[in-house]
Amino acid sequence: MEQSYTMIALRVLGALGLLIFGMKMMSEALQKMAGPQLRYILAKMTTNRLTGMLTGTFVTCAVQSSSATTVMTVSFVSAGLLTLAQAISIIMGANIGTTLTAWIMSLGYSVDLTNVVFPAFFVGMILIYRKSHRYVGDFLFGIAFLFLSLVMLSAAGRDLDLEHNEAAVQFFASFDTGSHLTIVAFLAIGTLITGVVQSSAAVMAITILLCSTGVLPIYLGIALVMGENIGTTATANLAALGAGVEARRAALAHLLFNVFGVVWVLIVFYPFVNMVCRLVGYDPAVGGQVEQLPVVLAMFHTCFNVTNTAILIWFVPQMVRVVSWLLPGKETHHPDDFRLQYIQTNLVQTPEIAVLQAKKETARFAENIHQMFERVQQMLTMDDSKLFAKSYAWVEQEEDVSDRMEIEIARYLEKVSNDHLSDETKQKIRQMLREVGELESIGDACYNLARTLQRRAQSGRKFTSQQTSDLQEMMTLCDHALRQMCVVMHGHRYEHDIRETFRIENDINALRDRLKRANIVAVNNHQYDYAVGTMFGDLVGELEKLGDYVVNVVQARFGKKFVTLHSV
């Protein structure tokens, strides 16, 4: 019999592994099918705490993973797309949405799903080979694996026959179900196991398995379910480690929300559980059919999360203040520090969200480059040598930062591209890789301009008033081009007209041609020496190149091929 129990235990472990894999596969497929729509729902449909809660419920029901919804929410907070209050309301809704998983699992123990599993595998295989429907096929495979694991667990539970195993019956009977100490102990066990395996669904399956055999009293099973609610918060908290303070606060709010619920349920534990049992028609004092117990667990899970949300939804501002007090850290940005603001490489997320964060980081990159050019503009007319030297050092440092930003963003995008992506997402990644490369070239152009201005300052020579005026005119055009580029980078393509960028570029080219001709004439007429004319020509040429790079960035943003040729 020992060998038999060993084989059954291995079957249970295999079924749990299949359950986790099926849930993961199904969740990822649903997220890929939802794609940008899911992102839009989370970012936009949170006008108040009630809509935020409903959004969290809907998204979690759709992707069948509260951890996925919570981690997405933490990512959005980190990217500045959601406020902390919006994130908390979404997390509350996610806790309600995850109760659907418990109902699916209780169904798997109550209904023979074998007739559903094998057709789902067959149809899913056909759809996977048809590339246009591969995500639907992945979803069917995931749900088939989920149902198959439930069938296997149910069969393993019957084979265990624990209700006739005297040792097992005596072991669980030795616990005093009327003691709060026992309830807290099982709650801690549920928390620990869920935190370790990172899957509340797997622990819920074990709980249902033990309860359905009749050996685990319903009070202890519910205590395990309460522990799962706390343990499942570990995923978001681990993901938020090293992220921004707002992201850590959102993850902490998730933990506090569930801990608060567990505390008040512990205070009214027995009356609350008895009330839930009566809703199902099960009397824990008398007992009844063990087939009812999975339904009792699912009903408790639902009542617990719905009631907890109904209580705390009115105290979101207070929760924001509490987590802000517990995590008072402020984001510090020292000029010598380099840190990506929106991209958090330690956060586990879907490719759609990763691309969105990269887009935000690229827009920030564009803003930094524009600030770099503004400092170069100021250097043209600086008379204070110390201030000039300080500005040059700042531009030099920012050029190094731009090099590192290009590398880090590109490395992140390459990592994301290794995942299974839609054609639309692949195109977005290619566009952003072009964008960051051209933005880094603008940074190089700014540095080259600063070096030429420094060379002029070190030589002791000065530009004539006409030269200074001409350079200011050209820099103003480049500044307009950069401002337009930043506007395009922050918005959507359909909101802007690429012709404005081309108009500015044409003005820059026309002015470049005029200034080059005037420079040759002035040098030949000895209005200034050849060295000054050379430095003036270098600045004009570099400014025209900068304008070309700006056009390339905008073209990449609009998904167009490069047509601009750098002038020589």
The pLDDT tens digits for 520-568 are 999 898 888 899 999 999 999 999 999 999 999 998 888 765 444 443 3
Confidence bin at 512 (pLDDT 50/70/90): very high
> How far apart are alpha carbons 24 and 345 in whole angstroms?
20
φ/ψ of 287, rounded to 5, equals: 90, -170
Averaged pLDDT, 432-459: 92
pLDDT of residue 476: 93
Q: Looking at residue 566, what is its pLDDT?
A: 41
| Bridge partners, 287 (sequence order) | 283
Predicted TM-score (pTM) of the model is: 0.60
Residue in 411, 341, 428, 409 with CA at minimum distance from that of residue 81: 341
pLDDT confidence bin for 283, thresholds 50/70/90: confident
> What does the mean pLDDT of the chain come to?
80
Which tens digits make up the pLDDT trace of 253-282?
888 988 999 999 999 988 998 888 888 887
pLDDT of residue 477: 94
**Mean pLDDT of all residues in 5-16:** 75
Q: Which of 565, 542, 568 is nearest to 555 (CA)?
A: 565
Domains and CATH numbers, the chain: 2-326 (no CATH), 351-557 (1.20.58.220)
Average confidence (pLDDT) over 176-187: 86
Query: Residue 230's pLDDT band (boundaries 50, 70, 90)?
Result: confident
| More confident call, 38 vs 410 | 410
Among 51-60, 63-72, 261-270, the range with the most confident prediction by mean pLDDT is 261-270
Mean pLDDT for the stretch of residues 491-510? 80
CA distances 289 to 109, 175, 177, Å, are 13, 21, 19
Higher-confidence residue of 300 and 148: namely 300
Rounded mean pLDDT, 143-152: 76
**Distance (Å, rounded) from C-alpha 209 to C-alpha 231?**
19
Instruction: Write down the pLDDT at residue 565.
Output: 40
What integer pLDDT is reported at residue 3 of this predicted model?
A: 46
Do 312 and 92 contact (CB within 8 A), yes or no? yes
Report pLDDT for 229.
83
What would the mean pLDDT of 414-437 be, rounded to a whole number? 81
CB neighbour list of residue 293: distance below 8 Å, 6 or more residues apart: 208, 211, 212, 214, 218, 221, 282
Average pLDDT score over residue span 390-406: 90
Looking at the chain, the whole-number percentage of residues with pLDDT higher than 70 is 77
Which of 140 and 263 is assigned the larger pLDDT? 263
